């Protein structure tokens, strides 16, 4: 079974084709980073318009690169939420319309389920059950995963997500958009220990996150101390250390709470090298295993949507002609594929 996946939840247009026997056949991605850079963040209306311009050419590219004709596809999956409603509607309407025109079924996919299942695209996928840390610009949450569609939310951010805090702190330091990766690169030049940032909500029980106060602490430190390049690098290092330590502490708690010894990290921030190194060391110490998607599948992409959609289509799930997008959509509201 071959499925075309469409991802348009924010500022990246991702198209991919996944075959349940041969794996990933093709994927194409267009990033809108340059479009939004002048504004210091994503402008929803511009994002929607750019998806309109890019989506059909990318579909053609992905189909051609897979060596297929449209009639050889068995279905189409598209992201239906959460995300920017205008951007979601572009992908949903195009995906559902192509499915109707090609007389094949369509299936709506939860964006975060796509991220959660992205490590399944690798040669060594994680076996169920496991704890997943979903960490990106829009979401930071811990989830117990017992199978596809069997999700229990353990904790989430009550304000800024980790990636959002990275980007906002980078902007305070005058770094270009998107600032998160640039802040992480600057942190590599910083010295550990010169500044000590708080580890928010780690001094109390529970698995929720809060990064807004950490961003404010960084802003005050930048205003008071950040007047030369090395100091700014040291502040970036202190900020990154605080975020990574906080995520690691909460992951350890979640593993202890659930009694599991497998950890999956997915989402854009999962590409952070410091985070990967610290979690790998932690899991080695615990005698457990940690799994990641490759870097190109950490950020938004069509491959993860194609894979997630295929699992649901194989169980008989399809989308009617009416298109429904959900900008807010709790992950643990999903059911296992085929469940009533």
Q: Angle formed by the axes of helices 162-172 and 212-225, to 10°?
A: 20
φ/ψ (deg, to 5) at 275? -65, -45
Strands of 50-117 (E only): list them. Answer: 75-81, 106-110
The answer on whether 136 is annotated among ligand-binding residues is yes
The answer on whether 259 is annotated among ligand-binding residues is no
CA-based nearest residue to 88, from 58, 36, 59, 47:
47
Strands of 242-286 (E only): list them. Answer: 262-266
Q: Residue 12 corresponds to which tokens in the numbers above?
A: 């990246």
Please state, in angstroms and rounded to a whole number, the distance separating the CA atoms of residues 170 and 176: 8
Please state, in angstroms and rounded to a whole number, the distance separating the CA atoms of residues 167 and 174: 11
The answer on whether 180 is annotated among ligand-binding residues is yes
Burial 3-34 (b: 16+ CB within 10 A, else e): bbbbbbbbbbbbbbbbbeeeebbbbbbbbbee
Please state, in angstroms and rounded to a whole number, the distance separating the CA atoms of residues 322 and 195: 54
The answer on whether 159 is annotated among ligand-binding residues is no
DSSP one-letter code for 207: S
Sign of CA dihedral 48, 54, 59, 65: negative
Please state, in angstroms and rounded to a whole number, the distance separating the CA atoms of residues 286 and 184: 26
The answer on whether 167 is annotated among ligand-binding residues is yes
Give ∠ CA 118-120-122 in degrees, rounded to 5.
95
Are 338 and 315 in contact, with CB atoms under 8 Å apart? yes
DSSP one-letter code for 184: H
The answer on whether 75 is annotated among ligand-binding residues is no
Please state, in angstroms and rounded to a whole number, the distance separating the CA atoms of residues 307 and 297: 12
Please state, in angstroms and rounded to a whole number, the distance separating the CA atoms of residues 176 and 76: 36
Are 92 and 222 in contact, with CB atoms under 8 Å apart? no
The answer on whether 138 is annotated among ligand-binding residues is yes
The answer on whether 213 is annotated among ligand-binding residues is no
The answer on whether 110 is annotated among ligand-binding residues is no
Residues in a beta bridge with 152:
144
Residues within the annotated binding site? 111, 115, 134-138, 167, 180, 272, 300
Residues within the annotated binding site for Fe cation? 111, 115, 300
Residues within the annotated binding site for substrate? 134-138, 167, 180, 272
């Amino acid at each position: 079974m071959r499925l075309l996946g469409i991802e348009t939840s924010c500022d990246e247009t991702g198209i991919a084709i996944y075959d349940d026997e041969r794996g990933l056949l093709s994927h194409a991605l267009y990033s809108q980073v340059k479009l939004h850079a002048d504004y210091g963040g994503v402008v929803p209306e511009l994002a929607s318009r750019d998806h309109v311009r890019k989506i059909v050419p990318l579909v053609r590219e992905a189909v051609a690169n897979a060596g297929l004709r449209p009639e050889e596809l068995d279905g189409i999956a598209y992201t239906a939420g959460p995300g920017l409603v205008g951007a979601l509607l572009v992908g949903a309407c195009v995906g559902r319309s192509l499915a109707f025109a090609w007389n094949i079924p369509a299936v709506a996919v939860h964006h975060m389920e796509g991220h959660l299942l992205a490590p399944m695209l690798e040669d060594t996928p994680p076996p169920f059950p496991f704890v997943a840390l979903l960490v990106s610009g829009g979401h930071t949450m811990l989830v117990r995963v017992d199978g596809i569609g069997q999700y229990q939310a353990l904790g989430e951010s009550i304000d800024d997500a980790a990636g959002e805090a990275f980007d906002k702190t980078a902007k305070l330091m005058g770094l270009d958009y998107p600032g998160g990766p640039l802040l992480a690169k600057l942190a590599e030049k910083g010295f550990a220990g010169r500044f000590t940032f708080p580890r928010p909500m780690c001094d109390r029980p529970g698995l929720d996150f809060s990064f807004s106060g950490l961003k404010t602490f960084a802003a005050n430190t930048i205003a008071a101390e950040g007047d030369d390049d090395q100091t700014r690098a040291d502040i970036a290092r202190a900020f990154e250390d605080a975020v990574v330590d906080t995520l690691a502490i909460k992951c350890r708690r979640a593993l202890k709470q659930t009694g599991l010894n497998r950890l999956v990290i997915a989402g854009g921030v999962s590409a952070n090298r410091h985070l990967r190194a610290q979690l790998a060391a932690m899991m080695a110490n615990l005698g457990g295993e940690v799994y990641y998607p490759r870097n190109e599948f950490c950020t938004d992409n069509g491959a993860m949507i194609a894979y997630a959609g295929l699992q649901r289509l194989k169980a008989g799930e399809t989308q009617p002609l009416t298109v429904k997008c959900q900008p807010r959509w709790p992950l643990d509201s999903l059911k296992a594929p085929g469940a009533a």
